[in-house]
Structure 1
Amino acid sequence: MKAAYIQNGKVHVGEMPDPTPAKGQVLVRTHSCGMCASEQHFVHSGQHVIDLSKKFGGAYASLDMTRPFVPGHEYVGEVIDYGPGSLRPIKPGRRVTSVPVMRQEGRHAVIGFSHECPGGWGEYMLLDEAAVMEVPSDLDDDLAAMTEPLAVGLEHARRGHPVAGDIPLVVGCGAIGLGVIAGLRIAGIAPIVAADFHPERRALALKMGADIAVDPREISPYAPLPDLGGKRVNLVYECVGLPGLLQQIIESVGFEARVVMGGYCMAPEQIYVFAAQNKRLTIHFAAGEEQQDMELALRSIANGTIDIAPWVGARIGLSGVAAALDEMSGPTAPVRTVIDPRKL
């Protein structure tokens, strides 16, 4: 199959072996796949991620950066066939997406970060038949591919256990932060405050349902806010992943605030426990999406409850992957560039 793959810290385009499904596995032809910052991390510091997984536990420990692997974990594709003895829950020809995890045949792999389970930067993937969800026939491929990144934000939103009366603050309005805002909005939580340095991302935050979007260089989002009648936020979602930010939040929030750590920080973090104890803070650590989040994300995109269209920027073929990956972290870059691996 044709694919864009990573090897030795570089993106290449070429031929990779066609995957063969075993029992419980679905062979899917990729229609659309989003590009995530995690893939950019693997180009620049993949070995560091692998080493951290080996030291602390994680799904990336079995990756070998000297061997090629096909990324892509935000996908929609067409069912082609199943492995022998499979349950075959969805008919061939139908489109599906899924949590990007393979648990069949004794494997536990993250699809797109595995040598055995190629991701959506290639023409074909293997998915777990127990996890696949059928995509409605009238839903656009690119919008359907946003199911997984949206689901991450929905998981983070519920991890804070928001309730009526909370005033949440979302720090960082990339894909995770925007998904958190959407999750809070559909849960009926308001008002929602968003903070980001970049005006384009603040505008997107308002589109996703934030009531107030501030530049933290101009106004502290943790202080009493005039637009909220002098009230303060009490539930903070950190969606940036920079070292030092957690301690800044601890110092800035009020008594008995809750903090959800959603940004992925791979550097050591120093906090003063004394400061958090004095304020009786609660800190939650959010992780990846679960099946319930994927189902809610797909349903919300399909029925229009969440308008995900502003996330989608350029649609490219395989030859454009390397350049798009280099440019994706800029403040004016789209939330998601989408790859169609059927095209060069």
Structure 2
Amino acid sequence: MKGVSCVDATLSVVDLPDPIPARGQLVLDVLRCGICGSDLHAREHCDDLAGVMAELDYGQFMRRDRPTVMGHEFVGAVRERGRGVRKEFREGTHVAVFPLQRVGGAVHPTGLSPLAPGGYAEQVVAEQSLSFPVPNGLAPDVAVLTEPMAVALHAVNRGEVSRKDVAIVLGCGPVGLAVICWLTARGVRTVVASDPSPGRRELAARCGAHIVVDPTEESPYAATSSTFMTRAPDLMDLAVGSMDRLRRVPGWRHLFRVANAAGKATPSGPVVFECVGVPGMIDSVVSQAPMAARVVVVGVCMGGDAFRPSMAINKEIDLRFVLCYTPLEFRDALHALADGKVDASALVTGTVGLDGVAAAYDALADPERHAKILVDPASSATTPA
């Protein structure tokens, strides 16, 4: 079969051995594979990522000098079944796959390890236990969005966002757009999207953002500044003024406890999704966000970064970092797409064949042209269309 190999940051089409399924595994004909922002990072910075993973006792992450077939966002049709595979995975069944697979007795991330070739190929191996039949005849162009939508669903879940919250999304690349899609689907009352790219801001509006901001001209926090507390004098005045009133009431401590249990005893802030992932973003959020903001860091910043803990402490900023998703979130994302509960159609801006993967990577460098490009191994397109 043919696949796209990455070595020394160069992407090229090569001949590869046809995969053979082990017990409990499937071989899929790849129908579509999305190009993820993580793939763009890994192409150039895989050695840094491999170093981080090595500190976590995983030593088989891709490196620049180890040819790797990337692609972890894929949907395929069952071509071959290994021993012990359940009957639901009959030949031709379309499945979306949680991208982990067993190889040689160990588990590896599909498309991010040279030992587990990914979806930039005509065929790919999948674990039956991590494969989910595509429901309702959902088209491959949409089913392939399950993985990035699961990432965003996990981020929104970790943010514990309610309909009454104000959500601010910084960065409207594919992950930021996917987060906006979920916030819209959940009926969040105010969704603010921030991106310097006019094209990305237009996509954010299509995904349902209520307020769209160019951060080079306006702070994304300005639109909701009257709702939240931003100044230390105001907080101290609130504390003294509230206690002046409460201490006049017999049993004031019981009222305080009731208010505290209801989350009304202290100021609340917005939920901020940091989806940019460049140095300085976390410090920017800590410095500029209102007090008591809940910050979900989704963007992957390569290399080191710094922020001021004293500022975060004085504002009681809640920082949460997210990675991937659970198998249930993956399944739920697939079914939400199939049931029409979430609309992610704005994310896809182009498709290429295997011969066009390198050109797609170049095209994704321009935010005005593309957000999410899909790979269709059956296509002859060499430029994103």
TM bracket, shorter-chain basis: over 0.9
Which segment is superposed worse, 188-197 or 37-46?
37-46
Q: CA deviation at 1:63?
A: 2.9
Partner of 2:271: 235
Write out per-residue CA displacement over residues 123-170 of structure 1, whole angstroms, 9 at most, x where no aligned residue. 111111101111136322111111111111111111111124311100
Q: 1:252 to 1:134 in 2, by over 3 A?
A: same
Partner of 2:253: none
2-structure distance, mates of 1:60, 1:123 = 27
Q: 1:308 to 1:165 in 2, by over 3 A?
A: closer
1:264 has 2:300 as partner: yes
Q: 1:274 to 1:7 in 2, by over 3 A?
A: same
Q: Aligned letter for 2:209?
A: A
Q: Contact between 2:298 and 2:321, CA under 8 Å: does it hold in 1?
A: yes
1-structure distance, mates of 2:132, 2:19 = 20
1-structure distance, mates of 2:142, 2:58 = 27
Q: CA deviation at 1:61?
A: 3.9
1-structure distance, mates of 2:308, 2:159 = 22
Partner of 1:215: 214
Q: CA deviation at 1:292?
A: 2.2
Q: Aligned letter for 1:262?
A: V
Q: Aligned letter for 1:271?
A: F
- Aligned pairs for 1:7-46 within 5 A: 7-46=7-46
Write out per-residue CA displacement over residues 182-213 of structure 1, whole angstroms, 9 at most, x where no aligned residue. 22222222211111101111111111121101
Q: Aligned letter for 1:42?
A: A
Which segment is superposed worse, 63-72 or 326-335?
63-72
Alignment TM-score, normalising by the size of structure 1: 0.93
Partner of 1:196: 195
Partner of 1:285: 321
Q: Aligned letter for 1:292?
A: L
Q: 1:85 to 1:304 in 2, by over 3 A?
A: closer
Q: 3-state SS of the aligned residue for 1:230?
A: coil
Of 358, 363, 369, the match for 1:322: 358
| Bigger Rg, structure 1 or 2 | 2
Q: Contact between 2:352 and 2:374, CA under 8 Å: does it hold in 1?
A: yes
1:98 has 2:97 as partner: yes
| RMSD, matched Cα | 1.9
Q: 3-state SS of the aligned residue for 1:274?
A: helix
Structure 2 unmatched runs, 5+: 229-268, 381-385
1:254 has 2:290 as partner: yes
1:161 has 2:160 as partner: yes
Structure 1 unmatched runs, 5+: none
Partner of 2:171: 172
Q: 3-state SS of the aligned residue for 2:273?
A: strand
Q: Contact between 1:22 and 1:105, CA under 8 Å: does it hold in 2?
A: no
Q: CA deviation at 1:216?
A: 1.1
Q: 3-state SS of the aligned residue for 1:41?
A: helix
Partner of 1:340: 376
Q: Aligned letter for 1:339?
A: V
Q: Aligned letter for 2:227?
A: K
Q: CA deviation at 1:72?
A: 0.8
Q: 1:291 to 1:274 in 2, by over 3 A?
A: same
Q: Contact between 1:5 and 1:12, CA under 8 Å: does it hold in 2?
A: yes
Q: Contact between 2:68 and 2:112, CA under 8 Å: does it hold in 1?
A: yes
- Aligned pairs for 1:57-96 within 5 A: 57=56, 61-96=60-95
Q: CA deviation at 1:104?
A: 7.3
Write out per-residue CA displacement over residues 49-93 of structure 1, whole angstroms, 9 at most, x where no aligned residue. 222322x32767443433322111111100112222333542111
Q: Aligned letter for 1:208?
A: C
Q: Aligned letter for 1:326?
A: D
Q: Aligned letter for 2:4?
A: A
1-structure distance, mates of 2:58, 2:135 = 30
Q: 3-state SS of the aligned residue for 2:69?
A: coil
Q: Aligned letter for 2:10?
A: K
Q: Aligned letter for 1:19?
A: P
Q: Contact between 2:163 and 2:186, CA under 8 Å: does it hold in 1?
A: no
Q: Contact between 1:154 and 1:182, CA under 8 Å: does it hold in 2?
A: no
1:143 has 2:149 as partner: no
Write out per-residue CA displacement over residues 266-301 of structure 1, whole angstroms, 9 at most, x where no aligned residue. 221211111111111111111112222222221222
2-structure distance, mates of 1:305, 1:62 = 35
Q: CA deviation at 1:313?
A: 2.1
User: What is the number of residues matched between the two proteins?
Assistant: 340
Q: Contact between 1:21 and 1:27, CA under 8 Å: does it hold in 2?
A: yes
Alignment TM-score, normalising by the size of structure 2: 0.83
Q: Contact between 1:37 and 1:329, CA under 8 Å: does it hold in 2?
A: no
Q: Aligned letter for 1:253?
A: A
1-structure distance, mates of 2:47, 2:122 = 26
2-structure distance, mates of 1:213, 1:250 = 21
Percent identity, please.
Answer: 34
1-structure distance, mates of 2:59, 2:32 = 24
Q: 3-state SS of the aligned residue for 2:190?
A: coil
1-structure distance, mates of 2:61, 2:272 = 34
